[in-house]
Structure 1
Amino acid sequence: MINLIDELEKAYNGDTWHGSNALNLVLQADPQKVFTHPIPNAHSIAELVLHLTAWTEEVLDRIEGKEAKSPLRGDWPMPIEKSEQEWEMIVKDFSSANERLISLVNNFMPSQWSNIVKDKRTPELGTGVNNSQLINGLVQHHAYHSGQIALLLKF
Protein backbone atom coordinates (compact mmCIF):
# COMPACT_ATOMS: atom_id res chain seq x y z
CA MET A 1 0.00 0.00 0.00
CA ILE A 2 1.27 3.48 -0.85
CA ASN A 3 1.99 5.72 2.13
CA LEU A 4 0.58 9.09 1.02
CA ILE A 5 2.19 10.96 3.90
CA ASP A 6 5.58 9.68 2.75
CA GLU A 7 4.77 10.61 -0.85
CA LEU A 8 3.73 14.13 0.18
CA GLU A 9 6.88 14.57 2.25
CA LYS A 10 9.01 13.37 -0.67
CA ALA A 11 7.31 15.70 -3.15
CA TYR A 12 7.89 18.65 -0.83
CA ASN A 13 11.26 17.93 0.78
CA GLY A 14 12.34 14.33 0.32
CA ASP A 15 14.12 11.85 -1.90
CA THR A 16 12.02 11.80 -5.07
CA TRP A 17 12.43 9.33 -7.89
CA HIS A 18 11.81 11.92 -10.61
CA GLY A 19 14.54 14.36 -9.54
CA SER A 20 14.79 17.16 -7.02
CA ASN A 21 11.94 17.79 -4.64
CA ALA A 22 10.00 21.05 -4.78
CA LEU A 23 11.68 22.76 -1.82
CA ASN A 24 15.20 21.89 -3.00
CA LEU A 25 14.44 23.41 -6.40
CA VAL A 26 12.93 26.54 -4.86
CA LEU A 27 15.96 27.02 -2.62
CA GLN A 28 18.30 26.68 -5.63
CA ALA A 29 16.62 29.56 -7.41
CA ASP A 30 18.48 32.84 -7.79
CA PRO A 31 16.32 35.56 -6.18
CA GLN A 32 17.45 37.91 -8.95
CA LYS A 33 15.94 35.64 -11.62
CA VAL A 34 12.80 34.14 -10.05
CA PHE A 35 10.51 36.85 -11.44
CA THR A 36 11.84 36.67 -15.01
CA HIS A 37 10.20 34.85 -17.93
CA PRO A 38 13.05 33.18 -19.83
CA ILE A 39 10.53 31.12 -21.81
CA PRO A 40 7.94 33.25 -23.63
CA ASN A 41 4.36 32.63 -22.46
CA ALA A 42 5.57 30.47 -19.54
CA HIS A 43 5.23 31.26 -15.86
CA SER A 44 8.17 32.51 -13.82
CA ILE A 45 9.56 30.48 -10.93
CA ALA A 46 7.92 32.89 -8.48
CA GLU A 47 4.54 32.46 -10.19
CA LEU A 48 4.89 28.67 -10.06
CA VAL A 49 5.73 28.72 -6.35
CA LEU A 50 2.82 31.07 -5.62
CA HIS A 51 0.55 28.68 -7.55
CA LEU A 52 1.87 25.67 -5.61
CA THR A 53 1.34 27.51 -2.33
CA ALA A 54 -2.19 28.59 -3.26
CA TRP A 55 -3.23 25.01 -4.04
CA THR A 56 -1.49 23.58 -0.97
CA GLU A 57 -3.44 26.06 1.16
CA GLU A 58 -6.65 25.09 -0.63
CA VAL A 59 -5.98 21.41 0.07
CA LEU A 60 -5.43 22.32 3.74
CA ASP A 61 -8.80 24.07 3.78
CA ARG A 62 -10.54 21.09 2.19
CA ILE A 63 -8.98 18.62 4.59
CA GLU A 64 -10.08 20.83 7.48
CA GLY A 65 -13.66 20.45 6.25
CA LYS A 66 -14.15 23.63 4.26
CA GLU A 67 -15.97 23.44 0.95
CA ALA A 68 -13.93 23.04 -2.21
CA LYS A 69 -13.36 26.30 -4.05
CA SER A 70 -10.68 28.15 -5.96
CA PRO A 71 -7.71 29.06 -3.75
CA LEU A 72 -8.11 32.22 -1.67
CA ARG A 73 -4.98 33.64 -3.34
CA GLY A 74 -6.37 32.75 -6.76
CA ASP A 75 -5.28 29.98 -9.10
CA TRP A 76 -2.27 31.89 -10.39
CA PRO A 77 -1.40 34.66 -7.92
CA MET A 78 1.02 37.22 -9.28
CA PRO A 79 4.04 38.65 -7.48
CA ILE A 80 3.69 42.29 -6.51
CA GLU A 81 7.06 43.82 -5.63
CA LYS A 82 9.37 41.42 -7.44
CA SER A 83 12.03 41.96 -4.77
CA GLU A 84 14.30 39.66 -2.78
CA GLN A 85 12.13 40.35 0.26
CA GLU A 86 9.03 39.24 -1.61
CA TRP A 87 10.83 36.10 -2.79
CA GLU A 88 11.78 35.31 0.81
CA MET A 89 8.10 35.64 1.81
CA ILE A 90 7.00 33.46 -1.14
CA VAL A 91 9.43 30.72 -0.04
CA LYS A 92 8.38 31.07 3.60
CA ASP A 93 4.68 30.78 2.70
CA PHE A 94 5.37 27.74 0.49
CA SER A 95 7.28 26.01 3.28
CA SER A 96 4.71 26.91 5.91
CA ALA A 97 1.76 25.61 3.88
CA ASN A 98 3.48 22.31 3.12
CA GLU A 99 4.69 21.79 6.67
CA ARG A 100 1.20 22.52 8.07
CA LEU A 101 -0.35 20.05 5.62
CA ILE A 102 2.18 17.33 6.42
CA SER A 103 1.61 17.87 10.13
CA LEU A 104 -2.16 17.69 9.66
CA VAL A 105 -2.16 14.45 7.67
CA ASN A 106 0.41 12.91 10.03
CA ASN A 107 -2.29 13.10 12.69
CA PHE A 108 -5.03 11.52 10.55
CA MET A 109 -6.94 8.58 11.91
CA PRO A 110 -7.00 5.78 9.29
CA SER A 111 -10.69 6.39 8.62
CA GLN A 112 -10.08 10.06 7.72
CA TRP A 113 -8.37 9.11 4.48
CA SER A 114 -11.68 7.99 3.02
CA ASN A 115 -13.61 11.12 4.09
CA ILE A 116 -15.15 12.83 1.09
CA VAL A 117 -14.13 16.44 0.52
CA LYS A 118 -17.01 18.91 0.51
CA ASP A 119 -17.34 19.72 -3.15
CA LYS A 120 -20.08 21.80 -4.73
CA ARG A 121 -18.97 21.25 -8.32
CA THR A 122 -21.50 18.45 -8.94
CA PRO A 123 -23.55 18.12 -5.77
CA GLU A 124 -26.51 16.48 -7.51
CA LEU A 125 -24.26 13.56 -8.42
CA GLY A 126 -22.58 13.39 -5.03
CA THR A 127 -19.25 13.29 -6.80
CA GLY A 128 -15.95 14.51 -5.46
CA VAL A 129 -12.79 13.03 -4.08
CA ASN A 130 -11.76 11.68 -0.72
CA ASN A 131 -8.80 12.92 1.33
CA SER A 132 -6.57 10.16 -0.04
CA GLN A 133 -7.29 11.16 -3.64
CA LEU A 134 -6.86 14.83 -2.76
CA ILE A 135 -3.40 14.32 -1.27
CA ASN A 136 -2.39 12.07 -4.16
CA GLY A 137 -3.45 14.81 -6.58
CA LEU A 138 -1.38 17.39 -4.70
CA VAL A 139 1.67 15.09 -4.83
CA GLN A 140 1.24 14.88 -8.62
CA HIS A 141 0.74 18.65 -8.80
CA HIS A 142 3.99 19.24 -6.91
CA ALA A 143 5.88 16.85 -9.20
CA TYR A 144 4.50 18.45 -12.37
CA HIS A 145 5.38 22.00 -11.38
CA SER A 146 8.72 20.93 -9.88
CA GLY A 147 9.65 19.75 -13.37
CA GLN A 148 8.78 23.19 -14.74
CA ILE A 149 10.86 24.90 -12.06
CA ALA A 150 13.76 22.56 -12.78
CA LEU A 151 13.66 23.56 -16.45
CA LEU A 152 13.51 27.27 -15.63
CA LEU A 153 16.53 26.92 -13.33
CA LYS A 154 18.60 26.03 -16.39
CA PHE A 155 18.12 29.52 -17.85
Structure 2
Amino acid sequence: MTISEKLYNQLQEVLNGEPWYGDPVYTILDRISFEAAYEKPAGSVHSIAGIILHMTGWAEEVMDRMNGMKAQLPVRGDWPEPGLPDEQKWKWIVEDIKLVNVNLAGFIQDFPEEKWGETVEGKDPGQTYEYQVTGLIQHYIYHSAQIALLNRMING
Protein backbone atom coordinates (compact mmCIF):
# COMPACT_ATOMS: atom_id res chain seq x y z
CA MET A 1 0.00 0.00 0.00
CA THR A 2 1.33 3.44 -0.91
CA ILE A 3 1.52 6.33 1.54
CA SER A 4 -1.22 8.09 -0.46
CA GLU A 5 -3.50 5.06 -0.15
CA LYS A 6 -2.76 4.68 3.57
CA LEU A 7 -3.47 8.34 4.35
CA TYR A 8 -6.56 8.44 2.14
CA ASN A 9 -7.96 5.35 3.89
CA GLN A 10 -7.20 6.79 7.34
CA LEU A 11 -8.93 10.07 6.45
CA GLN A 12 -12.02 8.29 5.14
CA GLU A 13 -12.17 6.07 8.25
CA VAL A 14 -12.07 9.09 10.58
CA LEU A 15 -14.60 11.09 8.56
CA ASN A 16 -17.26 8.53 7.74
CA GLY A 17 -15.98 5.00 8.32
CA GLU A 18 -16.01 2.78 11.37
CA PRO A 19 -12.96 3.83 13.42
CA TRP A 20 -12.14 1.58 16.35
CA TYR A 21 -12.34 4.44 18.88
CA GLY A 22 -15.99 5.37 18.23
CA ASP A 23 -18.13 7.44 15.89
CA PRO A 24 -16.63 9.15 12.85
CA VAL A 25 -16.67 12.94 12.44
CA TYR A 26 -19.68 13.12 10.13
CA THR A 27 -21.83 10.89 12.34
CA ILE A 28 -21.05 13.15 15.29
CA LEU A 29 -21.90 16.26 13.23
CA ASP A 30 -25.22 14.76 12.15
CA ARG A 31 -26.29 14.77 15.81
CA ILE A 32 -25.64 18.50 16.33
CA SER A 33 -28.54 20.93 16.17
CA PHE A 34 -27.76 24.45 15.04
CA GLU A 35 -28.72 25.73 18.51
CA ALA A 36 -26.21 23.37 20.16
CA ALA A 37 -23.58 24.25 17.54
CA TYR A 38 -23.36 27.84 18.80
CA GLU A 39 -23.71 27.23 22.53
CA LYS A 40 -20.73 27.41 24.88
CA PRO A 41 -21.37 25.40 28.05
CA ALA A 42 -19.90 26.78 31.27
CA GLY A 43 -16.14 26.40 31.18
CA SER A 44 -15.97 25.95 27.41
CA VAL A 45 -13.73 28.20 25.38
CA HIS A 46 -15.15 27.33 21.96
CA SER A 47 -18.51 26.43 20.48
CA ILE A 48 -18.98 23.41 18.23
CA ALA A 49 -19.38 25.74 15.24
CA GLY A 50 -16.09 27.44 16.14
CA ILE A 51 -14.33 24.09 16.40
CA ILE A 52 -15.60 23.04 12.96
CA LEU A 53 -14.39 26.33 11.46
CA HIS A 54 -11.01 25.70 13.11
CA MET A 55 -10.84 22.17 11.67
CA THR A 56 -11.79 23.42 8.21
CA GLY A 57 -9.17 26.15 8.29
CA TRP A 58 -6.42 23.73 9.20
CA ALA A 59 -7.45 21.31 6.44
CA GLU A 60 -7.16 24.22 3.99
CA GLU A 61 -3.77 25.13 5.43
CA VAL A 62 -2.47 21.57 5.00
CA MET A 63 -3.64 21.61 1.36
CA ASP A 64 -1.86 24.94 0.85
CA ARG A 65 1.31 23.37 2.22
CA MET A 66 0.87 20.39 -0.11
CA ASN A 67 0.66 22.94 -2.93
CA GLY A 68 4.13 24.16 -1.95
CA MET A 69 3.11 27.20 0.06
CA LYS A 70 5.12 28.09 3.15
CA ALA A 71 3.63 26.92 6.47
CA GLN A 72 1.62 29.56 8.29
CA LEU A 73 -1.61 29.92 10.23
CA PRO A 74 -4.78 29.21 8.24
CA VAL A 75 -6.00 32.03 6.01
CA ARG A 76 -9.30 32.02 7.97
CA GLY A 77 -7.34 32.36 11.21
CA ASP A 78 -6.66 29.71 13.81
CA TRP A 79 -10.01 30.10 15.59
CA PRO A 80 -12.51 31.93 13.35
CA GLU A 81 -15.50 33.29 15.20
CA PRO A 82 -18.75 31.65 14.01
CA GLY A 83 -20.90 34.67 14.78
CA LEU A 84 -24.48 34.60 15.98
CA PRO A 85 -26.56 31.40 15.86
CA ASP A 86 -27.98 30.90 12.40
CA GLU A 87 -29.45 27.65 11.09
CA GLN A 88 -28.48 28.28 7.46
CA LYS A 89 -24.97 29.30 8.44
CA TRP A 90 -24.61 26.09 10.48
CA LYS A 91 -25.62 24.04 7.43
CA TRP A 92 -23.02 25.94 5.42
CA ILE A 93 -20.31 25.27 8.01
CA VAL A 94 -21.04 21.53 7.89
CA GLU A 95 -21.20 21.48 4.08
CA ASP A 96 -17.94 23.45 3.92
CA ILE A 97 -15.96 20.98 6.02
CA LYS A 98 -17.31 18.12 3.91
CA LEU A 99 -16.33 19.88 0.68
CA VAL A 100 -12.88 20.73 2.03
CA ASN A 101 -12.38 17.08 2.91
CA VAL A 102 -13.41 15.96 -0.59
CA ASN A 103 -10.71 18.30 -1.88
CA LEU A 104 -8.20 17.06 0.72
CA ALA A 105 -8.89 13.44 -0.23
CA GLY A 106 -8.17 14.34 -3.84
CA PHE A 107 -4.92 16.08 -2.85
CA ILE A 108 -3.85 12.99 -0.93
CA GLN A 109 -4.66 10.65 -3.80
CA ASP A 110 -2.85 12.81 -6.36
CA PHE A 111 0.18 13.75 -4.23
CA PRO A 112 3.42 12.42 -5.73
CA GLU A 113 4.55 9.43 -3.69
CA GLU A 114 8.18 10.57 -3.71
CA LYS A 115 7.23 13.91 -2.06
CA TRP A 116 5.60 12.50 1.11
CA GLY A 117 8.98 12.39 2.87
CA GLU A 118 9.98 15.94 1.96
CA THR A 119 9.99 18.67 4.60
CA VAL A 120 7.20 21.25 4.40
CA GLU A 121 8.55 24.70 3.60
CA GLY A 122 8.87 26.77 6.75
CA LYS A 123 8.82 23.77 9.11
CA ASP A 124 11.59 21.93 10.96
CA PRO A 125 13.16 18.82 9.43
CA GLY A 126 10.92 15.84 10.11
CA GLN A 127 7.82 17.94 9.50
CA THR A 128 7.12 16.15 6.25
CA TYR A 129 4.00 16.18 4.11
CA GLU A 130 3.12 12.75 5.49
CA TYR A 131 3.56 14.09 9.03
CA GLN A 132 1.28 17.05 8.24
CA VAL A 133 -1.57 14.90 6.93
CA THR A 134 -1.19 12.37 9.75
CA GLY A 135 -1.31 15.25 12.22
CA LEU A 136 -4.43 16.67 10.59
CA ILE A 137 -6.17 13.29 10.89
CA GLN A 138 -5.19 13.16 14.59
CA HIS A 139 -6.47 16.74 14.93
CA TYR A 140 -9.83 15.59 13.59
CA ILE A 141 -9.98 12.74 16.09
CA TYR A 142 -9.20 15.07 18.99
CA HIS A 143 -11.78 17.67 18.02
CA SER A 144 -14.49 15.13 17.14
CA ALA A 145 -14.27 13.83 20.71
CA GLN A 146 -14.41 17.40 22.00
CA ILE A 147 -17.51 18.07 19.86
CA ALA A 148 -19.21 14.89 21.09
CA LEU A 149 -18.55 15.86 24.72
CA LEU A 150 -19.77 19.43 24.21
CA ASN A 151 -22.94 18.14 22.60
CA ARG A 152 -23.48 15.77 25.55
CA MET A 153 -22.95 18.68 27.98
CA ILE A 154 -25.51 20.77 26.10
CA ASN A 155 -28.13 18.08 25.50
CA GLY A 156 -27.57 15.84 28.49
TM superposition score normalised by structure 2: 0.89
Show the counterpart of 1:135.
133
Instruction: Work out whether 1:153 is the aligned partner of 2:151.
Output: yes
Deviation of the 1:127 alpha carbon: 3.0
* Amino acid across the alignment from 1:96: L
CA distances 1:41-96 after superposition (whole Å, capped 9, x unpaired): 33111011011001011011011111100000110001124200110111111111
Q: What are the ranges of 5 or more consecutive residues in structure 2 without an aligned counterpart?
A: none
Deviation at 1:18, TM superposition (A): 1.2
Percent identity between matched residues is: 37
State the secondary structure of the residue aligned to 1:114. Answer: coil
CA distance in 1, matches of 2:85, 2:118: 40
- Paired residues, number: 150
Give the root-mean-square deviation of aligned CA atoms: 1.7
Find the aligned partners of 1:76 and 1:145 in 2 and give their Cα distance: 13
- Secondary structure of the structure 1 residue equivalent to 2:35: coil
**Matched residue SS, 2:141:** helix
**Of residues 113, 117, 123 in structure 2, which corresponds to 1:110?**
113
CA distance in 2, matches of 1:95, 1:60: 14
* Contact persistence 1:34–1:45 (CA under 8 A): yes
Q: Which runs of 5+ in 1 are unaligned?
A: none
CA contact (8 A) 2:56 2:97 kept: yes
Residue of 39, 55, 80 corresponding to 1:77: 80
Structure 1 residue 92 corresponds to structure 2 residue 95: yes
Q: CA deviation at 1:39?
A: 3.6
Residue 7 (str. 1) matches residue 10 (str. 2): yes
Deviations 1:15-49 (A, max 9, x none): 11111111221121011221001242331110110
Cα distance in 2 between the residues matched to 1:139 and 1:147: 13
Deviations 1:71-129 (A, max 9, x none): 0011000112420011011111111111100111112232121122111x5xxxx5351
Please point out which of 49, 52, 64 is paired with 1:49. Answer: 52
Q: Is the 8 A contact 1:118 1:128 kept in 2?
A: no
Q: Does 1:19 align with 2:22?
A: yes
